[in-house]
């Protein structure tokens, strides 16, 4: 499970600049979800091969009681509640203020891991100005410059040190291919709870509770037709006696974490409302995560033929980047279309973990070139020699040759289509990596 960092501090201390630095300005994952102010954003960060989620918050005034300032404080408290660690951002130039003391008092009360980031301190790692921040009694203040990128790596490592150690233990878990990890994602009120309750109850699936992780994410193992699944909660499952009850409680962090943990994601859309910006944001995150995905159009029984045509057109336009994903029409309430949905989930999982042999991949590359050669670039024409599989979930195909840097995106899509057709890949992204051989004569003197 990806750990979560919340950035907290008073206004104008550089939280948003730090957010952009930590996420490398991956605006596609910034979420304007309903119920959130525009001052609370979510982004993906990476440090080496370690991934984490960052929450940017508005200026925090813990004791505010009126207007927009009160609402911003509410959003910040929610961000802190969702986080595993908090980076308390301060301004070295402005010094320590009474408002900083108020924020520190609040952070001590929530018992979260807190790291002090004294921002705008370029070239001031040993400055005496840092001394006054020791008054907060929250550990060693770290001098950083979000604008110049100084001290950011050390800051992230300090914030997430225990969680990375925990993730290394989780990495020793059994092979994910043995159990299909399944997440249901979507906006609030699209029917996630209804669908989950139908799976767990009406279809008489074998289900039981598993202890949550330190971040209280709940997973429910169950079995259908001999295939084991692990449902990763995004709708807030809890147990009430012997009956599973799904609470329609939307958490952006839980959704992002569930998607990153899953093998297959069911993106649930509301047929009565069409494709919204929120749907497109979630779909974009699924694609960035490389997860297999199935589109499920819920409440299909509640729309007429004209609405269905408009909906299909909307999906084709707004979710064009997921054109590889199967689209299943369902009614979770009336239990319609669930059979085809399960088949699509199984097919998407099989495609994500498809094994592709080197001889077959190489033959497909040669056949593709014979049918349509890549365009010449100046004096050179790219030459594709052989291909092999470089990974699964999502499948990665590595193509070797000469002058491959001149291969166009259009030709890569052409190759992708040939690979998909032969291996019958559905529901999973397919990534193609081009590697050019080094010319042994380029480093020699003439």
Range scoring the smallest mean pLDDT among 15-19, 81-85, 166-170, 262-266: 166-170
Both structure tokens of 376: 């010449």
- CA-nearest of 23, 22, 47, 43 to 32 is 43
Q: Quote the pTM value.
A: 0.67
User: Of 95-104, 144-153, 245-254, 290-299, where does the model show the most confidence?
Assistant: 290-299
Q: Which pLDDT band, with edges at 50, 70 and 90, does 202 fall under? A: very low
**What share of the chain in percent tops pLDDT 90?**
13
CB 347 within 8 A of CB 228: no
Distance from C-alpha of 419 to C-alpha of 357, rounded to nearest angstrom: 12
Determine the average pLDDT of the residues in 5-15: 86
Identify the pLDDT of residue 282: 84
pLDDT tens per residue across span 252-271: 677 777 788 888 999 999 88
pLDDT score, position 169: 40
What does the pLDDT read at residue 54? Answer: 86
Average pLDDT over residues 190-204: 72
Query: Mind listing the pLDDT tens digit for each residue in 72-120?
Result: 677 778 778 878 899 999 988 888 888 888 888 888 888 888 999 998 8
The more confidently predicted of residues 107 and 196 is 107
Residues 185 and 282: beta-carbon distance below 8 Å: yes
Region of poorest pLDDT, from 113-127, 203-217, 323-337: 203-217
Range of 93-97, 159-163, 198-202, 326-330 with top mean pLDDT: 326-330
pLDDT tier, 360 (very low <50, low <70, confident <90, very high otherwise): very high
4-170: which CATH number, 3.40.50.300, 3.10.620.30, 3.20.20.450, 3.20.20.80? 3.40.50.300
Report the mean per-residue pLDDT for the chain. 78
Assign domain 358-436 to its CATH superfamily.
K homology (KH) domain (3.30.300.20)
* CATH T-level assignment (fold) for domain 176-352: Rossmann fold (3.40.50)
Check if 176-352 and 358-436 are the same fold: no
Dihedrals phi, psi of 219, to nearest 5 degrees: -120, 140
| Structural tokens at position 232 | 């990763």
432: how many CB neighbours lie within 10 A of its CB?
18
Residue 68 pLDDT: 53
> Domain map of the chain by residue range?
4-170, 176-352, 358-436
Lowest mean pLDDT among 24-38, 82-96, 143-157, 376-390: 24-38
Q: What are phi and psi of 110, to 5 degrees?
A: -95, -5
């Amino acid at each position: 499970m990806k750990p979560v960092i919340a950035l907290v501090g008073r206004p104008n201390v550089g939280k948003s600049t730090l957010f952009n630095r930590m996420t490398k300005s991956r605006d596609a994952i910034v979420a304007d979800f309903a119920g959130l102010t525009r001052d609370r954003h979510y982004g993906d960060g990476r440090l080496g091969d370690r991934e984490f989620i960052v929450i940017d918050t508005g200026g925090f005034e813990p004791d505010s009681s009126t207007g927009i300032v009160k609402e911003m404080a509410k959003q910040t408290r929610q961000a802190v509640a969702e986080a595993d660690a908090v980076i308390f951002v301060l301004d070295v130039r402005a010094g320590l203020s009474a408002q900083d003391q108020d924020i520190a008092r609040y952070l001590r009360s929530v018992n979260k891991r807190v790291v002090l980031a004294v921002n705008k301190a370029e070239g001031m790692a040993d400055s005496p100005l840092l001394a006054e921040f020791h008054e907060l009694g929250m550990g060693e203040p770290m001098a950083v410059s979000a604008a110049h990128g100084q001290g950011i790596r050390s800051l992230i490592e300090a914030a997430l040190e225990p969680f990375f150690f925990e993730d290394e233990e989780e990495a020793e878990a059994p092979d994910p291919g043995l159990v299909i990890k399944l997440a249901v994602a979507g906006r609030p009120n699209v029917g996630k709870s209804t669908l989950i309750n139908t799976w767990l109850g009406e279809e008489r699936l074998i289900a039981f509770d598993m202890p949550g992780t330190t971040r209280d994410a709940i997973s429910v193992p169950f079995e259908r037709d001999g295939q084991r699944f692990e449902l990763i909660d995004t709708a807030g499952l809890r147990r009430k006696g012997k009956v599973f009850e799904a609470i329609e409680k939307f958490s952006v962090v839980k959704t992002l974490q569930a998607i990153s943990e899953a093998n297959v994601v069911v993106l649930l859309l509301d047929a009565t409302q069409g494709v919204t910006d929120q749907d497109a944001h979630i779909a974009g995150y699924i694609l960035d995560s490389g997860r297999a995905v199935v589109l499920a159009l819920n409440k299909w029984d509640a729309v007429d033929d004209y609405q269905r045509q408009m909906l299909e057109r909307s999906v084709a336009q707004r979710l064009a980047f997921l054109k590889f994903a199967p689209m299943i029409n369902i009614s979770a309430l009336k239990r319609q279309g669930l059979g085809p949905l399960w088949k699509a989930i199984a097919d998407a999982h099989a495609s994500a973990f498809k094994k592709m042999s080197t001889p077959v991949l190489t033959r497909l590359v040669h056949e593709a070139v014979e049918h349509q050669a890549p365009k010449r670039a100046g004096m050179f024409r790219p030459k594709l020699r052989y291909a092999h599989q470089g990974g699964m979930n999502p499948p990665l195909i590595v193509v070797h040759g000469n002058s491959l840097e001149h291969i166009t995106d259009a030709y890569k899509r052409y190759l992708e289509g040939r690979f998909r057709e032969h291996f019958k890949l559905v529901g999973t992204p397919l990534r193609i990596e081009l590697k050019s051989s080094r010319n042994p004569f380029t480093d020699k003197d003439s």
